Structure 1
Amino acid sequence: INNIFNILKSINIIIGKFLLSLFYYKDIILHDRNISSFITNCLKSARKGNSIAQYNLGYYYQYGEGITQDYKKSFEWYTKSANSGHTGSQNNLGDCYYYGNGIKQDYDKAFEWYTKSANSGHIKGQYSLGKCYYYGRGIIQDYKKAFEWYSKSANNGCAKSQNYLGECYYFGRGIEQNYEKAFKWYFESAGNGCIESQNYVGECYYYGNGIEQDFNKAFEWYSKSANNGYAKGQNNLGYCYKHGIGATKDYNKAFEWYYKSAKNGYAKGQDRVGYCYKQGKGVEKDYNKAFEWFFKSANNGYAKSQYHLGYCYHYGMGTSVNIEEAVVWYKKASDNGILRANKMLNKISSIN
């Protein structure tokens, strides 16, 4: 009987470890009172060299799941797991180097680990390697190689890669421009929940690129992207309400969505909020707040706001008149292609 009991006990332990590893492998995070015991067991397995447990400890520390967030410890566990050949950890270790989480930022090392992960067939690693080639991080920029890696990852179901593959086709980066294929990949990515692609599907419908122009569908997709928190989608939805595109014209709703976009850091949305305050569209006119938002947008590099900020300084709108500052911002706007800024500079020059 004791032998049978010991055998059953061993079987239960094996099954328990298997299920725990399965939870780790599938990224099933348990949000209940037992999570601390799972992390304790995970820690025991990780210390014994279980690469899956090491990966998940890295994940828990990275996101503070059931444990205090600690990027350095996350980096340490990802490193151990990655050196044991875990492809997910190789990608995430690359992320640590890419973003400087738990370790000094190092694009070269990020590229090195992404390459290992990608060559082992990990779809996120393939996406990350494509990103390095696309932006020239840790390697010379190469759109063709970016396209190749995005293609592999996209065909394996990675929504982010599908989005970037759409971008490659849309702008002709690494492949001949093809709006129809761009739309195809944007649409597939959007269906897989990518909020950026939901916005770009909207843009395809808005401009009629790769699909028949349809303002109602543009509004529909902008709405999805905006409601999912994408700042550019929020700005575009605000534009639809402002101009009555795919929806009834509504300045209040336009301001609402512009404001959400602005709060999420989108420079164009910040400019639009400034415009609404300046004109009293959808909100009470307030030159001080208009100046405040133009200032944010201009400092985020948006050329039209640089012009608007110059105008505010020029005529004392929401701030004191300051011709020197007006000239500074008009020049920045002019350098960024705003032609009317040149007229204002000439006007100031003729007076002086």
Structure 2
Amino acid sequence: MVKPFYSLHLPWLLCCLLTSCVFDDSSPDRSSPTLPYEESTISIPEIRKAAEQGNPDAQNRLGMLYSEGRGVPQDYIQAKQWFDKAAEKGHPGAQVNLGTLYFQGNGAPESEQMALSWFRRAAAQGDALAFAKLGLMYEQGRGVPQDFIQAHMWYNLSAAHGEKRAIERRDALTKQMTPAQVAEAQRLAREWTPKQK
């Protein structure tokens, strides 16, 4: 018996949608030289103080702590508030995290369109995790019409930035595409350039 696509890939899909999982490059906070975020070297009160002073890295990190319930009670509303602050300052990791909250409906109204908007903003800055999440949304037709060419392009961009699971997804998707579709996706990936630095 052949299992439906969604049941075969459900664990991967769930993992992909959680920023602290598969496609996380272990540094969504894009640590700045002035604020290292190794958990062994900085305390939650120090992170909170830096966040309250407006540091977007700290704001994103504090949002992650609330989202994951690490060192603080899990609170998606608090997570969203901190991600909002950092995302509005252009922090790509916070933009991906905020998009994930909208996608899942945690601390924010469930909205594939809002998730897409935030993933696109982070992708415009060249964020590898945002590329992968856009690939997933195009592959599954979540908030956009299903489009394997676009999905392949986004996975390819993510893979080019070292995301191993994006490589796996792109390669699996390739098997469902014609050579012409793959060539078009590869051309689009080669021609894509970030809109922001």
Alpha-carbon distance in 1 for matches of 2:54, 2:164: 32
Matches within 5 A, 1:298-317: none
List alignment gaps of at least 5 residues for structure 1. 1-17, 177-352
1:93-104 → structure 2 map (5 Å cutoff): 93-104=98-109
Q: Distance in 1 between matches of 2:44 and 2:33?
A: 14
Are residues 1:175 and 2:185 paired?
no
Give me the TM-score of the superposition, normalised by structure 2.
0.71
State the alpha-carbon separation in 2 of the partners of residues 76 and 160 from structure 1. Answer: 29
Q: How does 1:265-276 map to 2 (within 5 A)?
A: none
Equivalent pair of 1:42/1:53 in contact (CA under 8 Å): yes
Query: Of 102, 116, 121, which aligns to 1:116?
Result: 121
| Relative contact order higher in (CA < 8 Å, ≥ 6 apart) | 2
Task: Report how far residue 160 of structure 1 moved.
Answer: 2.0
Residue 22 of structure 1 pairs with residue 36 of structure 2: yes
Residue 140 of structure 1, CA deviation: 1.6
> What is the aligned length?
150
Partner AA of 1:168 in structure 2: L
Letter in 2 for 1:29: E
Residue 156 of structure 1: how far off its partner (Å): 0.9
- Measure the CA separation in 2 of the matches of 1:89 and 1:55: 5
What SS does the aligned partner of 1:29 have? coil
TM-score by length of 1: 0.41
In 2: Cα distance, 1:53 partner to 1:42 partner? 5
Larger helix proportion, structure 1 or 2? 1
Where structure 2 has 5 or more consecutive residues not aligned to the other structure, the ranges are 1-31, 184-197
Distance in 2, Cα, partners of 1:100 & 1:137:
14
- Aligned pairs for 1:329-348 (under 5 A) are none
Structure 2: which amino acid aligns with 1:50? N
Rg larger in structure: 1
Cα separation, 2, equivalents of 1:138 and 1:82: 21
Q: How far off is 1:20 after superposition?
A: 6.7
Secondary structure at the counterpart of residue 35 of structure 2: helix
CA RMSD in angstroms comes to 1.8
- How far the C-alpha of 1:141 sits from its partner, in A, is 1.5
Distance 1:69 1:122 in 2: 26
Identical counterparts, % of pairs: 32
Matched to 1:163, the amino acid is E
